[in-house]
Structure 1
């Protein structure tokens, strides 16, 4: 038994010696190359490295770089400070990770630097300082601007598609694509902040208006609670929000006529079909009713305080006698003196003209869809040769006979 144990120990030692003798420069043998919490390669330098603690049976024997060295892309072990970059920054090297000398301290002078170092940290190479905006090491003359409160650094302040100022809130913002060489570096307001008129960055919700509406603020842009559905109970509201949208401030609802947020008691009337809201129904220069069609319409200019708010017919519509708004082309003709409107001027059983007096008059029955609307002479009148309607007694003294069919 003792001989077996001794033989095993000797073989293990010999194997270790043989294995170790195969190490390259700055390598060392490890019975568990896949364990630990530190970087093994230059590519891991400055990045978080997960801790791996495998079971003994899962360990992989092999060679790792000795302390102070990391494996380069060509497979050799090189000093840590000779790795081409740290955290992807070619101007950084392995170090404490505190970055005490920054672009900001370059202006203020030396600052106290804590001694506590980060695991797998980086530091700027000699001659470089840390730019907190760009999160990389730069030459002092390459420092970006120092951003103020609620600002962040941007590589392209003159490009993008989002609102930058309170004045743009709730309005279409053009998408500006800039080639990298045309970009201007600088500071912009951080996410959820916009630049106010005084130049500071304030929360979107604190902007004085949204879409030029002082009763609106930054929001989803769906305006689900409106004057039309107020007090009708909950209404379904889509979850999809608009880019750079607005919503009514607390206590306000959306007035679809005025396209703005108002207090519930300030809601305008709900307009009917083919109607639109007007801030001044008693002013204007256009015909509002079918009865005005073809006649001179006075231009009424009202002072704002004298205007009456309400609903008028939409563009291309006029109000009919029954109060509804109908297309202009459907308005009955405006009849002249001694004329009346008829839904079927091409049908009927009566004489229409003086020339028909004393002659048989056929009774013409027309299907409704074939009727022509227009004006005919009123009762007791007939159309003279000059087109006017005159009393029957002024026509030539003829009599006429009606023939029924």
Structure 2
């Protein structure tokens, strides 16, 4: 949210009304070529069919542009020809895959690679020394990579590691705002004025966040500053002073209070193996928990595991009472926190970050989704032709990765995209989806959110 606000302040001097140019048309393609929004990242070439290297790893992503028509392949000159004409120009397999691909590596210390890393080394990654681990897909990326021994800097240039700017761990490089301290491993879910009065446990990813965090006893307000809870706008509602001074609850024998206890504490049953492997949500639960070396008995006491009653010869049958579910529903101990609905499969609902937690309850049977009335129905019973917004059209088989401003602003960005039909509202041809959800001309992608409003086609076609 703060990034959006900063963007609005940065561009605050722009005129309040902007003329939006007409939508762009797909480019004209050369002979034997057609334009596609989702072409292969590893199209067939003379080089690939002559070397018979069909087993190479190819990233499953959409590439927008001109591709050879069916029955044609691209030769070393970039032209689409029938496969039986490959090799007639004296070209030997493997002579020049750079020319074959049409990619030119013009920057210093760059080379063309047919199988580069999806996570190449950068100045940032070597300076941090692995303190910030990232998940990297194991697939080939075709394009320009740095020569061996070089890394890419913030300007996109390939330089020697010693030429990278040094991120010294001095007070200058880790200078934080008032009431903040620098942390190599801060929480991904810090306390804020907004969530301080929420008594419910919050699902939180368990990863280190490097940067400035609020000092102990401070929380972050809506303006991004670290303040005392008593300085929050809702301080009366949360009674922060009493929160800070509130005595810890009294715990029983062999118990300790823990602000971040397990949601699935150890019991005699788990110790004796009477409970099968459980899916346990990773979240903090405040309360009284057994000390290390103790487990909770059936009567709620914390006792040494050796004092747990031994299981009898046969494993006792544990009766699990499940609620009665509606038609086309089944009970699940570990359902998704973000189940499929008519909204999500139609594309009308924006992408969501979904916590990987188990939700017990009634869920739709396989092959069913939940409609607006809360009933589980087959996808074909969802509203087939919803009302779309300005400059949108409904498609029964749209792309799973429609073009967005993110693609326009990052033309070299590669996105893994599944090849399937998605029904829903999509931007008209020539338009892309802006960060604010509206369909705009690609030229409008650099305009900050909130500066313009897309309405009728007359507005869009204004000169």
Question: What TM-score results when the alignment is normalised by the length of structure 1?
Answer: 0.23
Name the larger-Rg structure.
1
Higher relative contact order (CA 8 A, sep 6+): 2
**TM norm structure 2:** 0.20
